Amino acid sequence: MTTNDKMIEIEELTKVFYTDEVETHALSGIHLTISRGEYVAMSGPSGCGKSTLLSILGLLDTPTGGRYRLNGKPVESLSFGERSRIRNQEIGFIFQSFNLIGDLTVEENVELPLTYRAGMPSSERKKRAKEALERVNMAHRMRHYPAQLSGGQQQRVAVARALAGSPSILLADEPTGNLDSKNGEAVMHLLADLHREGSTICMVTHDPRFARHAQREVHLFDGKVVSEDDLRKLTEEVEA
Amino acid sequence: MHSFFQDIRYAARQLRKAPGFTFTVIVTLALGIGANTAIFTLVQSILLRSLPVADSAQLYRIGDDDQCCVEGGFPGSASDTGDFSIFSFDLYQHLKSSSPEFQSLAALQAGFGGWNVRRGNAAAKFLTGEFVSGNFFHTLGIVPFAGRLFSDSDDMPAAAPAIVLSYRAWQGEYASDPAIVGSTIYIQTHPFTVIGVAPPGFFGDRVTDNPADFWMPLNTEPYVDGAETTILLHPETTWLYLVGRIRPGVNLPALQQRLSATLRQWLATRPTLTANGGATLIPRMHVVLTPAGGGIQNLQQQTGKDLRLLMILSLVVLLITCANIANLMLARATTRRAEIALRVSLGAARGRIIRQILTECVLLSLFGGTVGLGIAYAGSKMILALAFPDAINLPFSASPSLPVLAFAFGVSVCTGILFGFGPAWLSSHAQPADALRGANRSTRDRTTLPQKSLVILQAALSVILLSGAVLTTRSLLNLEHQNLGVVTASRYVAHFDPEGAGYTVDRLAALYREIEERFSALPGMAHVSLAMYSPLEGDNWGECVIQQGHPAPRHGDNCGSTWERVSTGFLDSIGVPIVRGRNLSTQDTAASPQVAVVNETFAKKFFPNQNPIGQHFGIGDPKYSGSFQIVGVFRDFKMNNPRDLVRPVFLRPLSQRFMGYTDPMMSTIELQSMDMNALVFDFDHPPADVNSLIRHTLSDIDPNLTVRDLRSFGDQVAGNFSQDRLLARLSLFFGILALLLAAIGLYGVMSYFVAQRTSEIGIRMALGASRSSVLRLVLRGVLTQLAFGLALGLPAALLFGRLIASQLYSVHAYDPVPLLCATLALSAAALIAGLIPARRAASIEPMQALRSE
């Protein structure tokens, strides 16, 4: 594997939350590498730091310590504006609760990240939005509002929005968390298809069934990356 | 009833739970209701108040116009309109004897003023006295507090001179002396017996800022004014208003017609009125019967328009207040959706929900109204001081009366319902299932259309108020900074009353000479002068001018000119230059030809395209048209109303008395014109103690001479703008209040917008929105509402400008400056109000925003 193949490189990453006088170590010395075209699932019990790690990977949050290189460039101490630009151009988000904007149509929702790109003409935005919706089989609903769609459909629109900007990586935070099993499976198949078409995906899930769709599974426990065996032992110790 | 009290208890608990919200609403309401109550206090005191007399509804005035105060010929506007509102004593008696429909018809002096009054050896005071007919108190149904009131027998030529004191004067001026009845009081040095004291609260026949302290019978007028200068017995000199009590069942239109016919019959018998085309005017002469329960309506006519405008402005402020609070209530309703949905799901009817929310609103309003009463009291005091800066004894106060309390209560309840009903209705229509479901799967802008509409309404109304404020302020500035033609700096005006100090005509010349000499010798005195009236003090004499060789003007011809008798230093003392010929001087003596100086307007009007110097003119009758020779022309200045164009003015020297009049009336006028009322002082450098210097100098000349009032010339001029100043200041206050409320409203809505859309903003940021794009997102909302507000407000402001055009001076109703100022002020306020929540939105951390969802 060459350096150019490494999309995400994380070393000794830490995240500490301070609330009043309590210090919570959400992430403690994480090492992680994700290569281009890879499909990684991050799993672990609630509170293990999965979502915190995903937020840092998505530049929604900043680490307390450690190093983070995205596409070979250090990003841990970028300004807010720089982080916004990278989020807009390099990262596609899929949230557990879809986070579509209710006052915008499906098409406008998908187009939204493109509106933050200076200089992109409206026709180009609309073309890309349509293509993204076609990829998730939602082009026929582009004039609808989110409230007029089912949960599964809303999540497919959210995936289309994440794809519209042609990001380097898709970050999915429990994408099936608010869906029934049937719709959940459909979204998983969609992500698998996207991966097959070359997308790099990093997904947080606590459901082992969905984690198995990924090429590689990263297990987190108490803010640390652990092996599957270690995770099992630690979980058993806690339960005991 | 039980559920009603339950609603009140619950509402009180809800308000206690949200002290910030409760405090904000109460303060906002207190400002809105307080402003309205303050203006209503004034409206009630001046426009709506009845005289404190028996059965005031039975009282009617013959006349409807503010014609004042002493007129010869056809009074005031009667030549134009035929409307007769002021009467002579002879005409009064004629109407009284031929109108059995009146139980009693009283006559009262149209324009009353100050008299020199002394009791025993005490120093003389200037008190306000009014001549009234003997049946005055009987007509009004007044009973005495002490002694007795006038009867017809007191108003006979041979009756012993008697006066009735007002209760206030008895208390204030004579320390409630129980021996006052029967005692002697000297008025203008003439003894009168006090026969009684009027009841407390009775302030006379009209609402005025200087009501009568005492009343004298009409027939004592010659006794006080002197046989040579009396106006009582001049049949064509009109100076009385007539008020009567009408018998029940009288047909008013028929009575009005009959009185008009009686008036015309009487006019036809007067040779001086029928001559020179006067006979042709008589057929349109008529009277108008008007209800007089509120008294003579002069003050009401002067201030009514302004008061009604202020009432409208304060109501607009209240409307903005309601919109503001309705918005807060809508925001609050959103936070209480779950609670209300729960109540609905438990079976609460919509009416019950509405009632509960309305109870809360009305309770808030009543609290606001209570606090507002305090604001109204302070506001009314301030307004009264602004409106009547020279008031000696206002017959009303800022203290809330029963009608004012009832108004405040009514406004509070209505306000509560007005701002509460919309939110209550919307809350009652909440879908319980939606509200109880909890977290939404997609974010939605819950800033509803009603909230935005209310902000737009506030913005539009603010534009109207702000534009109105700028219009009235510009009007005031134009009035104050116009070229009045006089110089006010370092100048003072004093008023005195030599006649009241016992001076007879033969002693006046020596007195005036001594006054001029003594004051001229004071250090720093540049000029001193005596005049009948000083410029812009609100009074003047007018006569019809006849140029030599011209025929007698016909009745209705525009031949009027203001005229003044002045000492030689008059023009210098008010800073008015001579532009042609010469000024009045010491060479104009009793023995030299009768001269006059005239203003430019006089010269242009009566001697167009001619050299006015050397021309002759007179007054009253063609036979006197060669009486006065013009020796000089002085620059125009405003003598009377600063709003009016300059009228023709001529000045005659104090040293010359015209002895050629053969008519008694003209002789009377000539004699009366020798009474100087005003002293004008022009200092090089005014000394620090001007007041005591002038008073001491005058009392050194004669201890009986006292200064009635003394103020700077600037203050006297400024007194002409009191009403305009009040209107401008209150408009400005209401405009700023409206702007503040609109800004608070916009801030509230945009803060709510940001709070409600925190997660959406987080999503946008997660998708790459920069802080500046979030800032733009919020500000776009602000500017959209502002644009709608301006689109509605600017045309409405133009209409409003037209509505108040007649109250403006030198400002066009379509003046773009007020619209521009209003737009800029509102835009600036909106941007400031929007920028705070916009910055807050832009500083949202996307991760936190997403967590909050």
* ipTM reported for the complex, 2 dp: 0.75
Q: What is the pLDDT of residues B703-753, one digit of tens each?
A: 888 888 899 999 999 888 888 888 898 889 889 988 888 888 788 778 877
Residue B535 C-alpha from the chain's centroid: 20
Structural contact between residues B300 and B294, judged by C-beta atoms closer than 8 angstroms: yes
CB contacts, 8 Å: B764 with chain A: 101, 112, 116
pLDDT at B440 (0 to 100): 43
CA B728 to CA B375: how far, in whole Å? 20
Count CB neighbours of B25 within 10 A: 24
Backbone angles phi, psi at B209, to 5 degrees: -80, 0
Q: Parallel, antiparallel, or unpaired for β B289-291 and B71-72?
A: unpaired
- β-pair partners for A41: A203, A217
Q: Among candidates A179, A128, A187, A182, which has minimal Cα distance to A159?
A: A187
Interhelix angle for B816-842 vs B771-803, to 10°?
160
pLDDT at B438 (0 to 100): 45
**Of residues B279 and B794, which shows the higher confidence score?**
B794
pLDDT at B91 (0 to 100): 92
Structural contact between residues B327 and B742, judged by C-beta atoms closer than 8 angstroms: no
Confidence of residue A129 (pLDDT cuts 50, 70, 90): very high
Q: What is the mean pLDDT of residues B545-552?
A: 88
**Of residues B606 and B847, which shows the higher confidence score?**
B606
Structural contact between residues B698 and B496, judged by C-beta atoms closer than 8 angstroms: yes
pLDDT at A41 (0 to 100): 94
Confidence of residue A28 (pLDDT cuts 50, 70, 90): very high
Backbone angles phi, psi at B136, to 5 degrees: -55, -55
Provide the H-helix boundaries in B18-45: 19-43
Interface of A with B in 150-189 (CB under 8 A): 151, 154, 161, 165, 178
Count CB neighbours of A227 within 10 A: 11
CA B571 to CA B530: how far, in whole Å? 11
Q: What is the mean pLDDT of residues A222-234?
A: 82
Q: What is the pLDDT of residues B660-682, one digit of tens each?
A: 988 887 888 888 898 899 999 99
Count CB neighbours of B94 within 10 A: 18
Confidence of residue A2 (pLDDT cuts 50, 70, 90): very low
pLDDT at B441 (0 to 100): 45
Count CB neighbours of B13 within 10 A: 10
CA A117 to CA A130: how far, in whole Å? 17
Backbone angles phi, psi at A47, to 5 degrees: 85, 5
pLDDT at B1 (0 to 100): 58
Q: For chain B, give the percent of residues with pLDDT over 70.
A: 95
Confidence of residue A185 (pLDDT cuts 50, 70, 90): confident
Q: What is the mean pLDDT of residues B468-485?
A: 91
Count CB neighbours of B513 within 10 A: 14
pLDDT at A102 (0 to 100): 82
> Is the Cβ of A61 closer than 8 Å to some Cβ of chain B?
yes
Q: What is the mean pLDDT of residues B25-41?
A: 89
Q: What is the mean pLDDT of chain B?
A: 87
Q: Tokens at residue B97, please?
A: 């004897």
pLDDT at B814 (0 to 100): 84
Cβ within 8 Å, pair A81-B442: no
**A203: buried, middle or exposed (CB in 10 Å: 19+, 13-18, 0-12)?**
buried
For residue A233, give how far its alpha carbon lies from the nearest alpha carbon of chain B (Å): 31
Q: Tokens at residue B539, please?
A: 């009074």
CA B456 to CA B691: how far, in whole Å? 55
Cβ within 8 Å, pair A102-B440: yes
Cβ within 8 Å, pair B768-A116: yes
**Range of weakest confidence among A10-14, B101-105, B212-216, B222-226:** B222-226
- The letter for the amino acid at A137 is N
In Å, what is the CA distance from A6 to each residue of A1, A34, A37, A68?
8, 6, 10, 12
**Of residues B577 and A95, which shows the higher confidence score?**
B577
Confidence of residue B439 (pLDDT cuts 50, 70, 90): very low
Is the pLDDT score of B446 beyond 60?
Answer: no
Interface of B with A in 417-456 (CB under 8 A): 439-445
> Is the Cβ of A68 closer than 8 Å to some Cβ of chain B?
no
Cβ within 8 Å, pair B441-A88: no
Is the pLDDT score of B278 beyond 80?
Answer: no
pTM to 2 decimal places: 0.76
Q: Tokens at residue A232, please?
A: 């099992």
CA quadruple B100, B104, B105, B110: dihedral, nearest 10: -170
Q: Tokens at residue B780, please?
A: 């776009």
Q: Parallel, antiparallel, or unpaired for β A216-221 and A224-226?
A: antiparallel
For residue A157, give how far its alpha carbon lies from the nearest alpha carbon of chain B (Å): 12
Is the pLDDT score of B66 beyond 70?
Answer: yes
Of B442, B764, B768, the CB nearest to A146: B442
For residue A128, give how far its alpha carbon lies from the nearest alpha carbon of chain B (Å): 16
Cβ within 8 Å, pair B770-A154: no
Q: What is the mean pLDDT of residues B175-200?
A: 93
pLDDT at A194 (0 to 100): 87
Output DSSP code: residue B174. S
Q: What is the mean pLDDT of residues B75-102?
A: 85
For residue B21, give how far its alpha carbon lies from the nearest alpha carbon of chain A (Å): 29
CA B302 to CA B289: how far, in whole Å? 19
CA B755 to CA B840: how far, in whole Å? 9
Of B441, B847, B853, the CB nearest to A61: B847
CA B640 to CA B627: how far, in whole Å? 25
> Is the Cβ of A103 closer than 8 Å to some Cβ of chain B?
yes
CB contacts, 8 Å: B445 with chain A: 102-103
Residues 6+ apart with CB under 8 A from B690: B492, B681, B683, B710
Of A81, A112, A146, the CB nearest to B767: A112
> Is the Cβ of A58 closer than 8 Å to some Cβ of chain B?
yes
Structural contact between residues B614 and B630, judged by C-beta atoms closer than 8 angstroms: yes
pLDDT at B15 (0 to 100): 85
**Range of weakest confidence among B233-247, B331-345, B764-778:** B331-345
With residue B285 as reference, give the H or E element that holds it: none
Confidence of residue B430 (pLDDT cuts 50, 70, 90): low
pLDDT at B279 (0 to 100): 80
pLDDT at B342 (0 to 100): 63
* Chain pair A-B, CB pairs under 8 angstroms: 79
Is the pLDDT score of B447 beyond 60?
Answer: no
CB contacts, 8 Å: A129 with chain B: none
Output DSSP code: residue A30. E
For residue B454, give how far its alpha carbon lies from the nearest alpha carbon of chain A (Å): 21
Q: What is the mean pLDDT of chain A?
A: 88
Count CB neighbours of B183 within 10 A: 13
